[in-house]
Chains A and B, each alone.
Chain A
């Protein structure tokens, strides 16, 4: 395991996933095999209880031509986010309770607040900050505002916490939950 990777106890991180650079993974977060998290331009910090499914690519990528060693940009991902199969995320910042559906793409000029849903196959690249509870859906990336945040996937997460260790090798957590401090 490379040096920069910090896994808080309680997280389930499969051995076959690809972690590069300075990555911090919060407690209760589940990372499936073959997901890749690449901290290229700066560290990536993932909050608690996120679900990161297969083929997900979370990349901290600086805008082209802006790689700046002095001003390191962190990618902070909040808690209770769901990254569905084969989504690619390069956002600036991600809040809590968001859902990134399958094959969605979020470019590196986009800031995601809380409770947003990026629909299956939607591509967001233009510079923008999504308001809370925004829902992007459909072929033309139509936008609407939801009433509430999407419900967390507790049932699914519980099952995965039980099942995944039975079938996969896990990376050992190397950080004690220091939330109390």
Chain B
């Protein structure tokens, strides 16, 4: 039979990356997702919009995912999911309940034929055609750093902190609240929009100046953001410039984005450290914030001078730019994997799922011990 595979029309396989804020969806073998939509559903009856990640328990999540996937399949992907394969791009640090419930929904409610789950950090390297890099994913809920060495994620070196988009949004909302009245009920997507259109990450030299009490620097110009014709939000230059500063300020445990990267490199074998530092890949929607990458680089060099990282003996950092927009690099990797025969070889079929009634997972000893 394998002889006949690949002849005739190419099979279209749905590739989904269910992020905490946005879901990227499209088909395998394509170069960009067809749609990027918010990961939320509007419930029938109550007209309430709920985010997928706002679940309270497994049953609640099951219902949310049924609604959400229904929308995906019949409004965006336009494909009957029954007896079709599906590819999910997922973080290695995805909560087990989310994974298991998603698989349950796909197999028992939508009756898909097979499911291939690919780890987002690993597949992010596929569009670059490299197999060793340090992948920094700055998403919505958290930032995760996982080094990939020769095509294998080095899991013991992972770093994760909730320094990401959601934290920026909360900060922005709080600051705007202090200089505008009645802003607390402003919807999340307006806050998102203000962040994307008005805010940026300032260069390090200015950030250092701002920290000094006698700073002579002026902030960037203030901005009037019109809201629905009846209100204007005043966005002061100070907020525009410094709302994302906390990503680079060390917290009580002396941790921030730059230390996460260096700590992760520290945990890897000495031979690989230089190679990782010279192959850094930034992914996730938050890195698209204006000035983020430039500042990130500056911060890495700054941390290098501190005594904590002296022994690293690194002198330079190099960054990759994927042939995609940063917010869908992982999806693109999934789409590339999906175009190959991996789908038939490595995916979990329905029979297997119903026999085992669980997914293989790396923290599970049952799946782990076989490798060793």
Contact = CB atoms under 8 A, between A and B. Distances in A.
Do A and B come together as binding partners? yes
Interface of A: 122-128, 136, 140-141, 143
Indicate the size class of the contact surface on chain B: under 10
Among B227, B228, B231, B232, the most chain A Cβ lie within 10 Å of the Cβ of B228
Which 4 A-B pairs have CB atoms at the shortest separation, nearest pair first? A141-B229, A124-B229, A125-B230, A126-B232
B232 A128 contact: yes
A123 B230 contact: yes
Contacts of B227: 140
A128 B228 CA distance: 13
A128 B233 CA distance: 12
B226 interface: yes
Interface string B218-259: 000000101111111000000000000000000000000000
Secondary structure of the B side of the interface?
strand
Interface of B: 224, 226-232
B311 to A, nearest CB: 54
A37 B228 CA distance: 27
B234 to A, nearest CB: 11
A126 B180 CA distance: 14
Among B224, B229, B230, B232, the most chain A Cβ lie within 10 Å of the Cβ of B229
Contacts of B231: 126
Nearest to A143: B226
25 contacts: A122-B229, A123-B229, A123-B230, A124-B229, A124-B230, A125-B229, A125-B230, A126-B226, A126-B229, A126-B230, A126-B231, A126-B232, A127-B232, A128-B224, A128-B226, A128-B232, A136-B229, A140-B227, A140-B228, A140-B229, A141-B226, A141-B228, A141-B229, A141-B230, A143-B226
B233 to A, nearest CB: 10
Contacts of B230: 123-126, 141
Nearest to A119: B229
Nearest to A140: B228
B207 to A, nearest CB: 32
Given A123-B230, A140-B227, 9 more contacts: A123-B229, A124-B230, A125-B229, A126-B229, A136-B229, A140-B228, A140-B229, A141-B226, A143-B226
A125 B182 CA distance: 16
A122 B226 CA distance: 13
B285 to A, nearest CB: 22
A126 B224 CA distance: 12
A160 B207 CA distance: 63
Contacts of A124: 229-230
A141 B190 CA distance: 13
Contacts of B232: 126-128
